[in-house]
Chains A and B, each alone.
Chain A
Amino acid sequence: MDGIHDLGGKHGFGAVSPELNEPVFHEGWEARVFALVLQLGGNLDRSRHAIERIDPISYLADTYYGRWLGGLETRLVEDGVLSQSEITERARRLGADVNDRVAARPRDAGDQSPEKKSSTGGFSTAQRTLKTPPRFELGDQVRTKSTSTEGHTRMPAYVRGCIGEVIGVHGGWVYPDSHAHGKGEGPECLYTVRFTTEMLWGEAGEKNIELSIDLFEAYLEQVNDDD
């Protein structure tokens, strides 16, 4: 999806602001939200997609663990574990205002397949064995698909429709575009693809830059000699 989360190449965010001697967590609630998400665990791809779907104003304003909170609320409501009205009611008892912006954007119940939870929580490994050999090999020129997708994907918009070189072949991995939507793991071969800055951003940009990114086979097509 073309959400606010897909930040690569976007203009206007200003200078980076590193902080000296930064603590692991800045405020107690951040640590607690982090620990809640880890303990509840589940489907990491769906968890990422739930964050991508939160209100875009909240995505920027609520800071990092606020996004985690919004994503967690979305998943719990979609799974029928909690209702959004009972969370809102509890928040109002704790001092929230009726007009407060709420980050979570759960879909109507029934749109999601119920998620199987592991008893131990956490997020499990995503590496899988493939039944078919990789389609591409080191040194191949590949073109990324040029279309957008409605759902979850791990191909950022800034590499769409670009030609690059395969520099890594990493075997099978759970395919996030399928797994995030409860449509099975559908393992795909994962590659590292290297692009020049001219391919990504044109001739006007910084010189002597290369960008390497991990892309699933379904995102890629072979570049033919006559291209």
Chain B
Amino acid sequence: MMTDSKVIVRAEALESLLIEKGLVDPDRIDETITFYNERVGPMNGAQVVARAWQDPEFKARLLDDGTAAIEEFGFSGGQVDKLVIVENTPDTHNVVVCTLCSCYPWAVLGLPPRWYKDPAYRSRVVREPRAVLKEFGTVIPEDTTVQVWDSSAEIRYMVLPLMPASWADQSVDVLASKVSRDSMIGVEVLAD
């Protein structure tokens, strides 16, 4: 979907005025864009998940205090004052949303995908999560509880997905390469 040109023109007008008046630094605009394009993203969260699968002591620390645990990786700031990790189990499947805006754990997942910010997901996943998950190709058994987390304050949530049993012998780096963004939001269940 292309943006309406009037939005683009308005953005250009605002930016050009702010730069002319010396209220923003154009170099810092470019630095910010590079940082969010290259340095943060779901590859960060994937490393956390892979380590938690392999290291029970780390997993315990992660579930106890997510913010402190991700500092071990040097991930911090970026919309995570308090990170809570919600663990999928055979009995419970977790899925995260922000119905009021777009709250998302930037430090571990980067900026959210478009569908996460769009009205369809935000309106429906709190009401009919099983139907929404099916649209992602994810079917949760009826006897598994679906636990929806609406991040309405400054706490940020990330899902710790279940590891497929056949991945047990893989190295932590291989595991990290297989952990998808969507599994850490909770709209996907990882499979072989």
Contacts and interface: CB of A to CB of B under 8 A. Distances in A.
Interface residues of B, number: 75
B82 A170 contact: yes
A90 B16 contact: yes
Contacts of B128: 205-206
Nearest to A23: B37
Nearest to B38: A24
Interface string B148-192: 111111110000000000000000000000000010000100000
A165 interface: no
B99 A7 contact: yes
SS of A interface (majority):
mixed
Given A64-B114, A97-B6, A201-B127, A5 B101 contact: yes
A13 to B, nearest CB: 4
Contacts of A154: 100, 152-153
Interface residues of A, number: 86
Contact of B4 (A62, A88, A156): A62
Interface string B99-135: 1111000000011011101111111101111111001
A100 interface: yes
B54 interface: no
B113 A69 contact: no
Nearest to B146: A209
Contact of B99 (A8, A33, A61, A73): A8
A46 to B, nearest CB: 13
Contacts of A127: 81-82, 154
Contacts of A97: 6
Interface string B1-33: 111111111111111111001011100111011
Interface in A36-77: 36, 38-40, 48, 51, 60-66, 69, 72-73, 76
B148 A34 contact: no
Contacts of A135: none
